[in-house]
A = this chain, B = another copy of it.
Amino acid sequence: IPSLPDGYILRSLEENDFNNNLIPVLKTLTTVGDVTKEEFANLYSEWIANSHVYNPLVITNREGKVVASGMLIVESKLIHKCGKVGHIEDIAVDLSEQGKKLGLILIKNLVELARLKNCYKVILDCDAKNTGFYEKCGFSQEGIEMGFRF
């Protein structure tokens, strides 16, 4: 795993990251919408209460500001001898922090966390235009993501 720039830290998401650039970072990925501090607190409690499922990580910069975030969901299955699958979700990197390999470092750490949690594989879904990035992270194409929107 390449190392982070000096002063940058990778750590678990904390509740007060809500006011620490987390939302602007996520907005680089997709629609976030208006989320109140209380709604976030409820979601954060649910993640903490199910910490064997939800593993949210962030990278902070020299000023302690969140500049990248990502989630590892650990799913307990019956197949593969009661195997576990890691799902990487909601990867976002601040646009002003490009070129520092933060995305790659975040992914490699989420994969390492999945390994420590005994997952037999890690999967993620992405746009066709991002497959090259995930190949650099050691992934290869497994299948097709199908979706149904309400």
Contact = CB atoms under 8 A, between A and B. Distances in A.
Interface in A116-150: 119-128, 131, 134-135, 137-150
Nearest to A138: B148
A145 B145 contact: yes
A124 B146 contact: yes
Interface in A1-53: 22, 26, 29-35, 39-40, 42-43, 46-47, 50, 53
B147 A122 contact: yes
Interface stretch (A60-68, A81-89, A93-101): A81-89
Contacts of A81: 32-35, 39
A124 B143 CA distance: 10
A116 to B, nearest CB: 11
B131 A76 contact: no
B89 A77 contact: yes
Interface string A100-123: 000000000001001100011111
Interface of A: 22, 26, 29-35, 39-40, 42-43, 46-47, 50, 53-54, 73, 75-82, 87, 89-90, 111, 114-115, 119-128, 131, 134-135, 137-150
